[in-house]
């Protein structure tokens, strides 16, 4: 069966793994008092609450990951005791699970656009 480029409501709902990473980012931000912006915090709340993403959200999240993949090379990335601000911000946007999920949704949007 051929896959369509239309994205269903179910596919737009952040998976549990994405929600968990966003929640973790919010917790780490509160604990360490750093990481992310208010935009990132709003995004984390959306993802943690598993609120569906719009086409605009998909494009914005995709662009975030495209810009910030380089942050993974930074000092303290994913440190258990002192995680970097970049790592916390990455989690606010749903972390690696969101990067994969949004990549798939973004590909579908691109195919639909022709």
- 62-89 pLDDT tens trace: 999 999 999 999 888 999 899 999 999 9
pLDDT for position 112: 86
Report percent pLDDT > 90 for the chain: 87
- The chain-wide mean pLDDT, for the chain, equals 93
Whether the full predicted model's pTM is greater than 0.85, yes or no, is: yes
Asked whether residue 18 is domain-assigned, the answer is yes
- Indicate whether 17 pLDDT > 90: yes
Residue 56, in any domain of the structure: yes
C-alpha gyration radius of the chain? 14
Q: Tell me if 2 is assigned to some domain.
A: no
Domain range holding 21? 11-113
Is the residue at 40 inside a domain? yes
Q: What CA–CA distance (Å, rounded) separates 46 from 51?
A: 5
Cβ-Cβ contacts under 8 Å for 88 (sequence gap 6 or more): 25, 28, 29, 32, 34, 35, 36
Flag whether 5 is in a domain: no
Mean pLDDT over residues 100-108, rounded? Answer: 97
| Within-domain flag for 3 | no
Classify residue 84: in a domain, yes or no: yes
Residues 6+ apart with CB under 8 A from 35: 25, 28, 29, 83, 84, 85, 86, 87, 88, 89, 91, 92
Position 5 scores a pLDDT of 58
- Specify if 109 maps to a domain: yes
pLDDT, one tens digit per residue, over 27-40 is 999 999 999 999 99
DSSP structure class, residue 3 = P
> How many distinct structural domains can be found in the chain?
1
């Amino acid at each position: 069966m051929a896959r369509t480029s239309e994205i269903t409501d179910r596919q737009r709902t952040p998976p549990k793994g994405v929600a968990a990473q966003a929640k973790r980012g919010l917790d780490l931000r509160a604990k360490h008092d750093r990481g992310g912006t208010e935009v990132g915090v709003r995004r984390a709340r959306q993802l943690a609450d598993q609120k569906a993403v719009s086409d605009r959200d998909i494009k914005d999240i995709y662009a975030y990951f495209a810009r910030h993949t380089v942050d993974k090379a930074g000092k303290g990335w994913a440190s258990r005791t002192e995680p970097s601000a970049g790592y916390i911000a990455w989690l606010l946007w749903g972390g690696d699970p969101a990067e994969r999920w949004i990549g798939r949704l973004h590909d579908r949007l691109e195919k639909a656009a022709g």
